[in-house]
Amino acid sequence: MKKIRLGIVSAGAIVARVMKDMHLSENVEVTAIAARDLSRAQAAAEAYGIPHAYGSYLELAQSSEVDLAYIATPHNFHAEQAMLMMCHGKHVICEKPMTTNPEELQKMIDCARENGVFLMEAMWTRFQPCVQTLMQMIREGVIGEVRNVFGEFSWSCVGTYDPASRLFDPALAGGALLDLGVYPLMFCMQLLGSEPENVQSLCRKTPEGVDMNTSVQMQYANGAIAQFFCGMDASGNDYMQIYGAKGHITLEGFWKPKSFTLYADGQEPRVVAFEQETEPYHYEFDHAAACILDGLKESPVMPLAESLAANRICTRIRHSNGIFYPGEAGA
């Protein structure tokens, strides 16, 4: 099978994670990396055996060595860089969240369609075997209709708090919701749907004006409720609890899970386990490559309409709690 050539738009810390298990990819090869500083791109290329290094994102966009660009820079740069790639005919997989507001995301989607290229949000949990098996079992009715979902994704910055970090900088779209909360939000949406009827939230803000932690509750038309907590000030475990009419499921480490436990009514608990790599990025890249090779312009697993719906929800949550990034109305 033809391999899709991947170019990485960033030479930051994420490169080490992405490259950890890329040798397991079936139809993707990393051929290029770009940074604003050529020496950083060259250092990363040498460290990870990437053939081509570029000192600007434009050079990667113009490169004949790249089919698919992976946008892995801070959130607020995604739209500009993704559209640069797409205007030069590159397919794009963009780290979550794709943009900081739905208006920018719609521009990205319009740009992809105008240029006839593939665009997908890099929500890696959806492509990992453990989550895909769990979702299939739920669709088959193993716990009946899902009535309630609860999730938590939290870590503690106590002792390491740095107001200059991108995580706490409003100019870099910092905050727990966009860095952590999008994962449980997208998981809840995958289970219950992308359009809740009611969304309520509470948060605690940092002195810089982003959310240190956020709690969210969503209710759907059929009465189902999803709740999740995300935070950067409380040590916790990332997990999901899924409650159905005929049982429930516990998914530990849902961000990159290795197993889940099924508690079906009238049956003994059953652990469903999987082999798991260290950094399983290759599943989402292989999915994007398969879509491209099949001539698709978006993913059926991570559709653009769902990315847009999640973006609208996150923006509504932020604004309702008085969190505005520079340049936004109300800032």
Domains of the chain: 4-123 (3.40.50.720), 129-275+310-320 (3.30.360.10)
Q: Could you check whether the bond before residue 184 is cis, i.e. omega within 30 degrees of 0?
A: no
pLDDT, tens only, 21-43:
999 999 999 999 999 999 999 99
331 residues of the chain, pLDDT tens digit each = 689 999 999 999 999 999 999 999 999 999 999 999 999 999 999 999 999 999 999 999 999 999 999 999 999 999 999 999 999 999 999 999 999 999 999 999 999 999 999 999 999 999 999 999 999 999 999 999 999 999 999 999 888 888 889 899 999 999 999 999 999 999 999 999 999 999 999 999 999 999 999 999 999 999 999 999 999 998 888 999 999 999 999 999 899 999 999 999 999 999 999 987 789 999 999 999 999 999 999 999 999 999 999 999 999 999 999 999 988 876 5
Give the model's pLDDT for residue 147: 98
DSSP H or E run through 118: none
The stretches of 166-303 forming alpha helices (DSSP H) are: 176, 182-192, 282-293
For residue 140, give both structure tokens: 């088959």
Q: Are 303 and 291 in contact (CB under 8 A)?
A: no
| Residue recorded with tokens 């794009």 | 92
Phi/psi at 254 (5° precision): -60, -20
CA-to-CA separations, 288 to 81, 92, 142, in angstroms, rounded: 18, 9, 29
pLDDT, tens only, 154-197:
999 888 888 889 899 999 999 999 999 999 999 999 999 999 99
Q: What is the largest CA-CA distance in the chain?
A: 61
Predicted structure pTM score? 0.95
The span from the CA of 252 to the CA of 240, in Å, is: 7
Q: CA 280, 82, 98 angle in degrees (round to 5)?
A: 60
CA 263 to chain centre: 28
The span from the CA of 101 to the CA of 330, in Å, is: 13
Residue partners of 294: CB distance under 8 A and separation at least 6: none
Q: Could you check whether the bond before residue 97 is cis, i.e. omega within 30 degrees of 0?
A: yes
- Residue-wise over 163-195: b if at least 16 C-beta within 10 A, else e? eeebbbbbebbbbbbbbbbbbbbbbbbbbbbbe
Residue 2: DSSP 8-state: P
CA-to-CA separations, 149 to 136, 164, 200, 227, in angstroms, rounded: 16, 35, 15, 6
Q: Which residues does residue 203 pair with via DSSP β-bridges, in sequence order?
A: 214
